[in-house]
Structure 1
Amino acid sequence: MYQAARTSVDTSKSSTEDSAGDSDSAGDRTDDAAAQRNEASASASAGSPRHGWRRWAMDTRPLRRPAYRRLWSSTVVTAVGSQLTAVAVPKQIYDITGSSAWVGYASLAGFLPLVVFALWGGAIADSVDRRKLLLVTNTGIAVTSLLFWIQAVAGLDSVLVLMVLLALQQAFFGLNSPARNASIARLVPADELPAANALGSTVMQTGLVAGPLLAGALIPVIGLAELYLIDALALCLTVWAVYRLPALPPLATAAAGRAGMREIVAGFRYIALHKVLLLSFLADIVAMVLGMPRALFPQLAAQTYAPYGEGLALGLLFAAIPIGAVAGGLMSGTFSRVRRHGLMVIAAVVAWGVAITCFGLSANLWVAVAFLAAAGVADMVSMVFRGAILLSAVTDEMRGRMQGVFTVVVAGGPRLADVLHGTAGSAFGARTAVVGGGLLVIVAALALAAATPVLRRHEGTGG
């Protein structure tokens, strides 16, 4: 993804081929492709400098592209809906067993299918029409949500059934995510990739805040089962939005139809040969594994911030990072046009470490929440530029596989952090573990920057 950066000629070629493929689809998608070509011809005006408050506000240029707008709007719908299921599953398991351990076991049951199918899904996304893959996988996720609803209404009260359905859902998600993320570079020009990533990440982080709050409000009113049904209905809207996308076949005909172990191994070989890819993944691992303290939030709420009210403290601690990420996304105009993508990743990881360290040193709840929110802003900046590197600096035939690895890193890092911080918190105390983790992030990120100039010197296409 990284070293073989696409030129503007490649981008226009990609858009032309997508539009050509669209001519075989429904008429409304043909009209959208024509609108995209007209908008692309006016790229100079789209990239004109913004003045006043617009310089700081979210960069919404990608939403002028009809195809990207449809993909993004489907994310808006499902960002909240998916969180309803994410709350309902552990709640139902706890209601059945009365054990938090079973909730943890269920999380692990979904993790292995996610890893396996994300890696395989990345290879598939490089070998088939990505629009068709999105249709199949989004339909699969919707059917799984419907099955969640059926088992809840039927009153099965079976943890085994819930774990099987969770594993199936995560398998479909693993197949879906690489194709969805890899498609973005075919729908917007290279100079708008950071803005497109900021738009998508902001929506997902908003879902992390609004979804659990909505679930908590709805469960006493309509019951737990209906949360699954709402998610399934929302996913139907996603399927319709994906149906109206242009065709996204492989650009390299040699890669079409091949998605086996050989292709997966080729993806890892590609990462090894392109240091900027490997280093961007490593930067995220450093930040998340060493510096994500969420496993310590219950202990901090019960001990350090107990005078403020344990429930209030716990809710604020869990909400603070997503809220900060949303704020960062809303202000993405301040950074989404920067060319030094690698340097921005390093700076964001260091800023994350500083914010987490200060959080660990804070005895006042509101100060602690402010530092966690600052960490959320840094995380948003890191996500935007790591995503831009993954999309812009790699050839299209490898893009799906890189997104598959990205999905595994993003999903696996926080889980490893939970184990590491939980163990350290029990041994040394929660605040000591948080501060130590934050300091390790700073040291590791600066060492990475000093030892690997290829990352800090990496540039994308400016806006």
Structure 2
Amino acid sequence: MIRGLVADTRPLRNEHFRRLWLANIVTVVGAQLTVVVVPAQIYAITGSSAYVGLTGVFGLVPLIVFGLWGGALADAMDRRKLLLITTVGLIVTSGLFWAQAAAGNENVWLLLGLFSVQQAFFAINQPTRSAVLPKLLPAHLLPAANSLNMTVMMAGAIAGPLVGGSLIPVLGYSWLYLVDTVCLFATLFAVTALPALPVEGLASTPGLRSVIEGLRYLRGHPVLMMSFVVDLIAMIFGMPRALFPEMAHTDFGGPDEGGLAFALLFAAIPAGAVLGGIFSGWVSRISRQGLAVVIAILVWGLAMAFFGIFVGFANGSGGVMLGCAVAMLMVGGAADMVSAAFRQSMLMTAASDDVRGRLQGVFIVVVAGGPRIADVAHGGAAALAGTASAAAGGGFLVVVLTVVAALAAPAFVRYRLAKPDEPAEEKS
């Protein structure tokens, strides 16, 4: 019984996936250190939160541009070669982060420029990594593989800021950048050991036309299109992270500069995702993946709605209401992990190999862009109605809009993973 609940580790029997996954554990730790150190160094140079906020622009623009173009590249050349190029690029940019910090750089634009270059390499690397999974693993193991990958990413999102924040005063910026640089060599070794991974079918020519062709392909496949639509619904209306600082101070009585409530609110969603990944052994047994995504997003929406309700009852103090609010965020995090694992698997199995890279590029753009749009939307809603109402109302909107989307696209709800001896298709 318990064995059926804990994470399905069968994908790790594949030596290539195992190397990539183990390397990712090391790499995520280093990457999360850089995520913390870059804004910390920018603030130390400028003393301005406005400059720190520019990391959002300097990070999002290359993620969108190179996420789409990188997906087209992944459909035009051997994916192992592209992974090698982008991994070396990440190592070089991380090394330059170390060099500028060691040299005592005081130019914030140099730092932001390096950050943009790093995000561009990342935006090409990630769609390519995802596009190779169906070449390494059978379709029925892809949900488990995606769950394992997401568990590592979310664990890093918790541990990295805690470790990085505590080590900055001890080691300084340059040493933490150096740790990230060294950790990336683990991924380089894993990629070097991969076999050649050419694109099946007619390879595209990377460029704007190729990107447009990928978007046209998406428009002609409602199941794939809806996987993005429901995720945007969940993230734009249901991600209240922009409200956490005000909630921590005003609703839960924390200090202006952060405190326990602040830390718990920010850690809760990734912590829930990690727990969801640990107990994800059942995902490989689900064939009705479209229905599973809808249910997971409904759970996410309800969790965010009740999160807002508990915040409304906090009355400026922590205690029970803080615990209930954090619990709801953790439930939401677990549901989001399930939704993402199935949506990724659907993209990998329902799309042909010659467009997988471009669709994974769109996935990167949606995952990066949705929460940032949510920050703006929730901030504006909170200014009008208050933080609790904005969070609760957004959660209920997720439920309503997801039901509407499911009714409008029944093929998405009916989608199931094909048996090993038949192609994936839309069936009732």
Task: Tell me if TM exceeds 0.5.
Answer: yes
User: What is the deviation of 1:461?
Assistant: 3.9
- Identify the residue that residue 347 of structure 2 maps to in structure 1: 390
Q: Helix, strand or coil for the counterpart of 1:139?
A: helix
Q: Deviations over 1:5-48 (max 9, x none)?
A: xxxxxxxxxxxxxxxxxxxxxxxxxxxxxxxxxxxxxxxxxxxx
CA–CA separation in structure 1 for the residues paired with 2:7 and 2:401:
31
- Identify the residue that residue 26 of structure 1 maps to in structure 2: none
Once the two structures are overlaid, the 10-residue window that deviates more, 267-276 or 214-223, is 214-223
Going from structure 1 to structure 2, the CA distance change for 1:457 and 1:85 (only over 3 Å counts) comes to same
Q: Does 1:358 align with 2:315?
A: no
- Identify the residue that residue 186 of structure 2 maps to in structure 1: 237
Q: Helix, strand or coil for the counterpart of 1:255?
A: coil
Contact preservation (8 Å) 2:75, 2:203? yes
Contact preservation (8 Å) 1:113, 1:171? yes
- Identify the residue that residue 28 of structure 1 maps to in structure 2: none
- Identify the residue that residue 395 of structure 2 maps to in structure 1: 438
Contact preservation (8 Å) 1:114, 1:408? yes
1:296 alignment partner AA: L
1:329 alignment partner AA: G
Contact preservation (8 Å) 2:16, 2:190? no
Q: Which of 132, 135, 139 pairs up with 1:186?
A: 135
User: What is the deviation of 1:427?
Assistant: 2.0
Map 1:65-214 to 2 at 5 A.
Answer: 65-214=14-163
User: What is the deviation of 1:209?
Assistant: 0.5
CA–CA separation in structure 1 for the residues paired with 2:403 and 2:372:
24
CA–CA separation in structure 1 for the residues paired with 2:221 and 2:384:
39
- Identify the residue that residue 321 of structure 1 maps to in structure 2: 269
1:344 alignment partner AA: A
RMSD (Å), alpha carbons = 1.3
User: What is the deviation of 1:308?
Assistant: 9.1
CA–CA separation in structure 2 for the residues paired with 1:196 and 1:335:
10
CA–CA separation in structure 2 for the residues paired with 1:241 and 1:400:
20
Q: Which runs of 5+ in 2 are unaligned?
A: 315-320, 421-428
User: What is the deviation of 1:307?
Assistant: 5.8
Contact preservation (8 Å) 1:83, 1:207? yes
Q: Helix, strand or coil for the counterpart of 1:194?
A: helix
Q: Does 1:410 align with 2:359?
A: no
- Identify the residue that residue 290 of structure 1 maps to in structure 2: 237
Q: Does 1:341 align with 2:289?
A: yes
Q: Deviations over 1:349-374 (max 9, x none)?
A: 11000000111111211111000000
2:259 alignment partner AA: G
CA–CA separation in structure 1 for the residues paired with 2:248 and 2:221:
43
Q: Helix, strand or coil for the counterpart of 1:350?
A: helix
User: What is the deviation of 1:260?
Assistant: 1.8
- Identify the residue that residue 260 of structure 1 maps to in structure 2: 207
Q: Deviations over 1:303-338 (max 9, x none)?
A: 011169951000000000000000000000123320
| Count of residue pairs the alignment pairs up | 410
Q: Does 1:419 align with 2:366?
A: no
- Identify the residue that residue 33 of structure 1 maps to in structure 2: none
Contact preservation (8 Å) 1:83, 1:211? yes
Q: Helix, strand or coil for the counterpart of 1:306?
A: coil
Q: Which of 303, 317, 331 pairs up with 2:250?
A: 303
- Identify the residue that residue 216 of structure 1 maps to in structure 2: 165
Q: Structure 1 residue runs of 4+, over 3 Å off?
A: 307-310
1:181 alignment partner AA: S
Q: Helix, strand or coil for the counterpart of 1:303?
A: helix
- Identify the residue that residue 424 of structure 2 maps to in structure 1: none
Q: Which of 175, 179, 199 pairs up with 1:250?
A: 199
- Identify the residue that residue 260 of structure 2 maps to in structure 1: 312
1:282 alignment partner AA: V
2:295 alignment partner AA: A
- Identify the residue that residue 21 of structure 1 maps to in structure 2: none
User: What is the deviation of 1:232?
Assistant: 0.5
Contact preservation (8 Å) 2:248, 2:254? no
User: What is the deviation of 1:220?
Assistant: 2.0
- Identify the residue that residue 317 of structure 2 maps to in structure 1: none
Q: Helix, strand or coil for the counterpart of 2:327?
A: helix
- Identify the residue that residue 20 of structure 1 maps to in structure 2: none
Contact preservation (8 Å) 1:71, 1:245? no
CA–CA separation in structure 1 for the residues paired with 2:207 and 2:165:
42
- Identify the residue that residue 458 of structure 1 maps to in structure 2: 415
Q: Helix, strand or coil for the counterpart of 1:259?
A: coil
- Identify the residue that residue 338 of structure 2 maps to in structure 1: 381
Contact preservation (8 Å) 1:194, 1:337? no
CA–CA separation in structure 2 for the residues paired with 1:122 and 1:290:
27
Contact preservation (8 Å) 1:83, 1:208? yes
Contact preservation (8 Å) 1:361, 1:435? yes
User: What is the deviation of 1:224?
Assistant: 1.9
